[in-house]
Structure 1
Amino acid sequence: MDNGRVRVVEKAGPWGVVFLMAYIGAAIYFVSRSDGSFWGVILGLLQAAVWPVYAVYHVLVLLVA
């Protein structure tokens, strides 16, 4: 009998730690480059969330140039 339980099997758990560490590192980098104002820190945290987009963009610029 099921008893209404749901079993969730997570097979990519270790990758979550890697992505968390990458976000923390990027957040430290972008916040340290900000001017220290509230909105500068918020912008740094948002940039840390999308830093792979910056990396891909700069790689493509290097490939095209």
Structure 2
Amino acid sequence: MAKTQMHESGPSGAIYGLGLIGAAVYFISHATGFWMGVLGFLKALVWPAFLVYEAMKSLGM
């Protein structure tokens, strides 16, 4: 019988989830209308991409 390995990512998923909630609250609270709130929620889904982009830009990469 072959052994299978399972890699769990519970802690990182929890951090991403908290970041998602925080980003959604931030972006939606700064929205000026309904569709800007929808856009804010979509931005909250991809906030790590914004973070990495700004980090790489500040490092000159």
TM range (shorter): 0.7 to 0.9
2:14 corresponds to 1:17: yes
Structure 2 Cα separation of the partners of residues 34 and 51 of structure 1: 16
1:57 matches 2:53: yes
- C-alpha separation between the residues in 2 aligned to 1:41 and 1:61? 27
Structure-2 change in CA distance of 1:57 and 1:14 (3 Å): closer
Unaligned 5+ residue runs, structure 1? 1-8
Q: 1:10 to 1:56 in 2, by over 3 A?
A: closer
- Deviation of 1:10 (Å): 8.3
Q: TM-score, normalised by structure 2?
A: 0.72
Aligned-CA RMSD value = 2.1
Answer with 16-25 or 47-56: which moved more. 16-25
In structure 2, the residue corresponding to 1:64 is in which secondary structure?
A: coil
**Sequence identity (%):** 39
